[in-house]
Amino acid sequence: MLTVLRNRVYRRLFTAQVVALLGTGVLTVALGLLAFDLAGARAGAVLGTALTIKMIAYVGVAPVVNAVVARLPAKPVLVGADVVRATMALCLPVLTEAWQVYAVVFVLQAASATFTPAFQSVIPGVLPRERDYTRALSLSRLAYDVEALVSPVLAAVALSVLSYHDLFLGTAAGFVASAVLVVAAALPAGAARSGGHGSVWYRTTLGTRIFWGTPRLRSLLALDLVVAAPTALVLVNTVVYVREVMGRPETDLAVALAAFGIGSMAVALSAPAALEQFGNRVVMLSGAGIIPPALLATTLLSFRAGTGTGWWALLGVWVLLGAATSAVLTPSARLLRDASDETTRPYVFTAQFSLSHACFVLTYPVAGWIGASAGLGWSAAVLTAIAVAGAGAAIVSWPGDPPRTSAVGEDGNREHRD
């Protein structure tokens, strides 16, 4: 997997992605603490609204922007998105009202919705060999898992000596570093993003049409809903569980989020062997099957927990949820790759980016608003029901795997496709 980092251009682009991810991860911790300062026990409602706005920006902006900038050079698009993100991050420490947070989050995440698909679409030109590109996809997934683990740790260390307001400065620094690395990357002519043909409307809807025409991708959309339920619960309500329900210090918020990341990374590291033995369908649907019982355990914990109790149980459930979500997400790029070609791949990845985040438009309000008005237990119960529905739809819509056949890969080794 790490051999693709020998490519200097990809190494710089990947490093740019990693530092931007770290900045975003630190931002998640800082936003949670800012929401608690602004709303106290209703922090979940504020954070849930902010994250819902983030998802609306992703869903509404990503397909349109990808279509509009498809003919522009990738480097200015990536750098411009990073500059906007850094500027918005610098605004967050001085905000005093929830509506201000919502406005800044929308602009920041609209820039992220521009950066991520543009980054994904330029990689095939940098790594034209299928084997290298596939390894780059796996490395990117691992980067997300490492970020989920490292960012809370960095935040916890920083919070021991700094105010959480200073975390926003770290976020801005991450975006600036990302922009510098993109500028330093000498993108070859082959890295220009392809697929800029047809009308803007055609390009905007192409990925979604491919999704609806491919049964396994329709199942992937249902799995996105399954993953959105625990992710929303963790990101929105962890701060309430830690600070309000259990009365623990600010640094324990980072510890709880790190527990989720530990579970995710453990599965990401073991995924290649599991996928080779069992295939995409078994691994992904197994992860989806674990999520509803784990959410049910969270529901019971929510109804029974009192101040100062349930800390270790919470960490255990968060590790399990992280592992289960990673089992679903890690192989997803394989499905996208197999359902697309060199021309349609940017649009398929953009559609996945947009449609998967559309699921959070449902789950973030459930986690935040229901949690604030009816209690964390009812919020977890509704998210459990959503996960059950998504898992059922995924199982029904994903046809059984055909007999596995061997094919000769580019490196001469036998490889299995399912």
pLDDT 10s digits, 351-397? 787 788 888 888 988 988 888 888 888 999 999 999 999 999 999 98
The predicted model gives 215-224 an average pLDDT of: 89
Return mean pLDDT, the chain.
79
pLDDT in tens, 226-266: 999 999 999 888 888 888 888 888 778 878 888 888 888 78
The token pair at 94 is 């001085």
- pLDDT over 60 (residue 169): yes
How far apart are alpha carbons 345 and 210 in whole angstroms?
Answer: 10
Token pair for residue 89?
């991050």
The pLDDT score that the predictor gives to residue 25 is 80
Quickly state the pLDDT bin for 404 (edges 50, 70, 90): very low
* pLDDT at residue 407, as a whole number: 37
Which token pair is 382?
């509704």
Which one has a higher pLDDT value, 370 or 334? 370
pLDDT: which is higher, 322 or 144: 322
- What residue ranges define each of the domains in the chain, with the CATH number in brackets? 2-401+410-417 (1.20.1250.20)
Q: What is the pLDDT of residues 281-311, one digit of tens each?
A: 899 999 999 999 999 998 888 777 654 558 8
Which is higher by pLDDT, 327 or 127?
327
> HEC string of 280-313?
HHHHHHHHHHHHHHHHHHHHHHHHHCCCCCCHHH
Q: Per-residue confidence at 170, pLDDT binned at 50, 70, 90?
A: confident
Give the distance from CA 170 to its chain's centroid.
20
Say whether pLDDT at 338 is over 60: yes
HEC assignment per residue over 328-377: HHCCHHHHHHHCCCCCCHHHHHHHHHHHHHHHHHHHHHHHHHHHHHCCHH
Residue 119: is its pLDDT beyond 60? Answer: yes
**pLDDT band at residue 411 using 50, 70 and 90 as cut-offs:** very low
Q: Which two tokens stand for residue 330?
A: 């890690």
pLDDT higher than 70, residue 410: no
305-329 pLDDT, tens per residue?
654 558 888 999 999 999 999 899 8
Lowest mean per-residue pLDDT among 38-47, 327-336, 355-364 = 38-47
Closest by Cα among 235, 155, 196, 174 to 346 = 196
Looking at residues 2-12, what average pLDDT do you find? 81
The predicted structure's pLDDT at residue 401? 55
Two structure tokens written together for 183: 């500028």
Contacts of residue 246, Cβ cutoff 8 Å, sequence gap at least 6: 252, 305, 307, 308, 309, 310, 311, 314
Rounded to whole angstroms, how far apart are CA atoms 259 and 263? 7
Position of tokens 């697929």?
A: 195
Whether 405 shows a pLDDT value over 70: the answer reads no
**pLDDT (0 to 100) of residue 208:** 77
Q: Is the pLDDT of residue 86 over 80?
A: yes
